[in-house]
Amino acid sequence: MRLADSIPVLCVGCRRAGAVLCTGCHEFVLRSRVPRTGTCLDDDLVALGPYEGPLRSAVQVLKYREATSVATLLGRMLAEECRRELDSTSAGSVVAIPTARSRRRWRGYDQAELIAQAVASHLGIPRARVLARRCDVSPQTVLDAELRRSLPRDVFHLDRLPDSHVVLVDDVVTTGTTMATARRALETAGTRVTCACVAVTPRRAGRRPPMVP
Residues in touch with Zn ion (CB under 5 A): 11, 13-14, 22, 25
Cβ-based nearer residue to Zn ion, 25 or 71:
25
CB of 45 to Zn ion, least distance (A): 26
Could you please report the per-residue DSSP string of 112-170?
Answer: HHHHHHHHHHHHT--B---EEESS----GGGS-HHHHHTS-TT-EEESSPPPSEEEEEE
Question: Rounded CA gap, 61 and 87, in Å?
Answer: 30
Shortest Cβ distance from residue 23 to Zn ion (Å)? 8
* Close Cβ partners of 142 (under 8 Å, ≥ 6 residues apart): none
Calculate the alpha carbon distances from 65 to 71, 111, 114, 203 in Å.
Answer: 11, 9, 12, 26
Q: How far is the CB of 16 from Zn ion (least distance, A)?
A: 5
Question: Is the CB of 22 or the CB of 59 nearer to Zn ion?
Answer: 22
Q: Provide CB contacts within 8 A for 60, sequence distance 6+.
A: none
Residue 93 to residue 90: CA distance in whole angstroms: 9
Nearer to Zn ion, 25 or 112 (CB): 25
Cβ proximity to Zn ion: between 25 and 78 the closer is 25
In this complex, which beta carbon is closest to Zn ion, that of residue 10 or of residue 40? 10
Q: Cβ 147 to Zn ion, closest distance in Å?
A: 36
Least gap, CB of 56 to Zn ion (angstroms): 13
